[in-house]
Structure 1
Amino acid sequence: MRIPGELCLYDERKHLAAFVAYPGNKAMVIFIAGLTDGLFSPRYFGPMAMAFHAQGVTCVQPILSSSYNGFGTSSLDQDVAELDTLIDFLSQHYHPHCIFLIGHSTGCQDAVTFFRKGRNATLIRGIVLQAPVSDRDFLQSLPRAQERLEKARSICTTQGPETLLNGELFTSVFPVLTARRFLSLAERLGDDDMFSYDLSDEELQSRLRHMRNVPTLAIFSEKDEAVPKHISYPELSKRLCNVMGATGYMLANANHAVNNSEECTRELIEQVVQFIDKVYSSTSE
């Protein structure tokens, strides 16, 4: 798919770029992709950007240091700092009067963390979380999960948190990963652990309750392959929405990246665009 837009260098020091699709609108949506994703992934980004354009909204997708395989040596805090730099750039060059965040998969953790810690968090008018799932729940469902976790803890202690994990035990799951980032993803109450099934209401509150201060739409996929089969996703989704004060929507028959059917993709985009349009209209009045 060809998407008209501008490719901008928003961080010259780190050589980080962002694609601004259909520039010229005063409302901007920043799309934050998940682990291993890069520009124009997941695949619904293009159709979504086109749908936003029809509503007078510009969609922006940044490349972060954590994009592609960079997630293995990055962190949520680093993503937040780079998103702040991006918003500084957009504010200076495009002058948006309304900014939204959309997170996909681990991009949801970025959006949640940014709204809690970001220097520009007060500029965010609404947030969409698409496929907010637990990396820890997924990793625990894989073979040798406990062995992998204990080995990473040992390496972190004896060799240091920035040690790259190697060997088939780890590379069969992630190609490049430090001990620190693996534990952030895989350890209970690690930095990335926000949506896990076994977290108590109090633990969820400590990580998600600040989301009550911003309009939030959480979109879940009924057939999400990242959610282990023993977990009741409908039950978990209700708990997450209750804590965040979010509107929840379950996409029937959709997978994690919502790329298994055109119908699911259309439904996703329709829900997201309607939410952004509703919040944008209310803030413009």
Structure 2
Amino acid sequence: MIKNEQFTLTGSSGKPILGDYTIDDQQPKSAIIIFVHGFKGFKDWGAHHLVARYFAENGYPYLKFNLSHSGVSLEKPNDVTDMEAFASNTISMELADLNTVVNYVEQTYHPEKIYLIGHSRGGGLVIIKTAQDPRISKLITWAAISDFSSLWKTEQEEEWKKKGKIYVENARTKEKMPLNSTLLKDFKANEESFNILHAAERISVPWLILHGDEDVNVKFSVAQELAQKQLKAEIHKIEGANHVFGASHPYQSRELPLHLNEVCNKTLEFLKRN
């Protein structure tokens, strides 16, 4: 029987990390998957609930969570509405949140193995984390970025420093979402430790790279760039897939989108094989 447990942890700057843990209580629980969402994403975006169920049904408990400064609040769990939190987010905060969650999983569930899956910017975070944390046994990236600064334009940086803020558009709602210059300052101050490609070179555990060849947000060439840095990594092209593998928000169907189903199948094969 599939069960879903909710939890709340204290994240960066005291803001909550809201999470849930999906498990089939009839299955063995030796390994746990932790999923990390991307920029402007959150744990309940699109078909993430179906993905959690898919892995739980196939014997892999699945934990997903909202980064503390994702902009998703307790009151409105299905959208980014806390613009103050969203604006003040930094990569340091996200990595600290991920560490908090890994610690929680280790201390609460005592798994034999911890696997990380990251989508988009979350992919960058899990690459950095896996390169430095021996507790991670396997790494899977879905449409991962290879550079945190790819999320803004270089020519915006001067204005960003002067005005203290820039805006990015939410493609779905067309809302202008603020980003404080603390994000840029944090990135510049930690440029070497936040270098995803350098971290990729240091990955020593099995790594699966999945990316759609019709991803206009993060080009397929980025996946190839990551794979060139870590020749032991496996890379698979998802033919015809976009950045979110056919999902949308809200997602009403009870079935996974075709491309996301392929991503889940390839991920499951990889977990079983390695």
Q: TM-score, normalised by structure 1?
A: 0.73
Once the two structures are overlaid, the 10-residue window that deviates more, 131-140 or 54-63, is: 131-140
SS in 1 for 2:129: helix
Q: Which has the larger radius of gyration?
A: 1
For the 8 Å contact 2:33–2:61, the answer to whether it is kept is yes
Deviation at 1:84, TM superposition (A): 2.0
Q: In structure 1, what is the equivalent of residue 16 of structure 2? A: 15
CA separation in 1, counterparts of 2:50 and 2:98? 23
**Residue 251 of structure 1 aligns with which residue?**
238
> Could you list the per-position Cα deviations for residues 229-277 of structure 1 after superposition, in whole angstroms to 9, with x for gaps in the alignment?
xxxx34x433320212311011111110112582212111101111122
- Structure 1 residues 45, 172: closer, same or farther in 2, change over 3 A? closer
Tell me the distance in 2 between the aligned counterparts of 1:180 and 1:61.
26
For 2:208, what is the secondary structure of its paired residue? strand
Question: Which whole-Å deviations, capped at 9, do the CAs of 1:203-235 have from their partners, x for residues lacking one?
Answer: x4x342112x1111111111112146xxxx34x
Higher helix share: 1
In the other structure, the counterpart of 2:217 is: 226
Q: Give RMSD over aligned pairs.
A: 2.9
Retained in 2: the 8 A contact 1:29–1:101? yes
Match of 2:263 among 256, 268, 271: 268
Structure 2 distance, partners of 1:266, 1:251, is 11
SS in 2 for 1:9: strand
Gaps of 5+ in 1: 156-162, 195-203, 280-285
Name structure 2 gaps, 5 residues minimum: 72-79, 171-175, 248-255
Structural mapping, 1:140-155, within 5 Å: 140=153, 146=155, 148-155=156-163
Aligned-partner Cα distance in 2 for 1:223–1:47: 23
Shift of 1:15: 3.0
Question: Is the Cα contact below 8 Å between 1:48 and 1:269 reproduced in 2?
Answer: yes
1:40 paired residue number: 44
Q: CA deviation at 1:137?
A: 4.4
User: Match of 2:265, as an amino acid?
Assistant: E
Tell me which residue corresponds to 1:26: 30
Q: How many residues align structurally?
A: 240
Q: What SS is found at the alignment partner of 1:77?
A: helix
* Range moving further from structure 2, 173-182 or 106-115: 173-182
Give the corresponding residue for 2:67.
64
Give the whole-Å Cα distance in 1 for the aligned partners of 2:151 and 2:67: 24
CA spacing shift, 1:86–1:77, aligned 2, 3 Å: same
Structure 1 distance, partners of 2:179, 2:38, is: 15
Q: What are the Cα deviations for residues 147-204 of structure 1, in whole angstroms up to 9, with x where unaligned?
A: x22212444xxxxxxx4x15xxx35575121113146679xx687664xxxxxxxxx4
The structure where strand makes up a greater share of residues is: 2
CA distance in 1, matches of 2:272, 2:20: 21
- Residue 258 of structure 1 aligns with an amino acid whose one-letter code is F
Q: Which runs of 4+ in 1 moved over 6 A?
A: 183-186
Is 1:175 the counterpart of 2:177 in the alignment?
Answer: yes
Structure 1 letter corresponding to 2:136: I
Q: Name the aligned partner's letter for residue 85 of structure 1.
A: T
Separation (CA, whole Å) in 2 of partners of 1:227 and 1:79: 20
Partners of 1:87 and 1:193 lie apart in 2 by 21
2:122 is aligned, of 107, 116, 121, to 107
| Residue 52 (structure 2) aligned to one of 42, 49, 65 | 49
Task: Give 1:107 deviation, angstroms.
Answer: 0.1
Distance 2:47 2:245 in 1: 8
Deviation at 1:22, TM superposition (A): 1.6
Q: Tell me the SS of whatever aligns to 1:56.
A: coil
The amino acid that maps onto 2:159 is K
